[in-house]
A and B are shown apart, each in its own frame.
Chain A
Amino acid sequence: MTSTEPAEKIERARAYLNQSLEYFENASKAFKDGNPEKAGEFLWGSVATALKALVMAKKGIEIKSHSEFWDIARELTRETGDMSIYESYKEANSLHSNFYDSRLSLDDIKNSSKKIAELVKKLRNLTKDAIRNQA
């Protein structure tokens, strides 16, 4: 992880939030196009960039590796006491893996997408609060 100057934090966090939303919308399009693997990968992207947004907004830190996402998900779960954060994160990660080995059915991915949508919403709200408190 690397540190960022305070002035850049909000701008970069907002950019990640926008990217997260864009990935989420792309996931919906991919579902409609009958491409579940692609939809799953966009859902993963939406979670990953929402986590990046939150960590940037709160700590000015850039997540650089895949293992750091796991650490952050565990830490957020511990801090909030909300186990669904880690469970939904794991589902998002399994969608990411599925992009390469196509094990999951369309229904599996659609079921996961509901939980992941909740997770993204929570992360977005935490990030927006952090931005609001610093603006």
Chain B
Amino acid sequence: MSQTVSDARKAIEIAKDYVTQSMRVSYWGDVLECEIDKEMNEWKVIFTASPGILAPYYKYEIFIDAKTGSVKKARRIEK
């Protein structure tokens, strides 16, 4: 469902939903960065999360289209 992302809270919410549902990451950690690139009209959220009870927390980044709320790119950026 298309949704405009007008604030950081909404962007974080989308990132959280995406990472838990599509990237099999069960444990959300901290948000390290959340900012909008006005030129690209996309939100970048950098956060830590963990894929399992015994696993450590890794750093992830997600790019969200500010106009539609869809995730454009998501990846783990730290091993």
Contact = CB atoms under 8 A, between A and B. Distances in A.
Contacts of B53: 54-55, 58-59, 72, 75-76, 79
A80 interface: yes
B51 to A, nearest CB: 9
Contacts of A75: 26, 52-53
Most central of A58, A59, A75, A78 by chain B CB within 10 Å: A59
A126 interface: yes
A61 interface: yes
Most central of B26, B52, B53, B54 by chain A CB within 10 Å: B53
Interface in A15-66: 54-55, 58-59, 61
Is the interface on chain A under 10, 10 to 19, 20 to 34, or 35 or more residues? 10 to 19
A80 B54 contact: yes
Contacts of A78: 52
Interface in B36-79: 50, 52-55
A79 B27 CA distance: 14
Nearest to A55: B53
Contacts of B54: 58, 76, 79-80, 126
Nearest to B27: A59
Contacts of A76: 53-54
A53 B54 CA distance: 13
Nearest to A61: B27
A60 to B, nearest CB: 9
B21 to A, nearest CB: 16
Nearest to A130: B54
A54 B54 CA distance: 9
Interface of B: 26-27, 50, 52-55
Given A75-B52, A76-B54, A80-B54, 18 more contacts: A54-B53, A55-B53, A58-B53, A58-B54, A59-B27, A59-B50, A59-B53, A61-B27, A72-B53, A75-B26, A75-B53, A76-B53, A78-B52, A79-B52, A79-B53, A79-B54, A79-B55, A126-B54
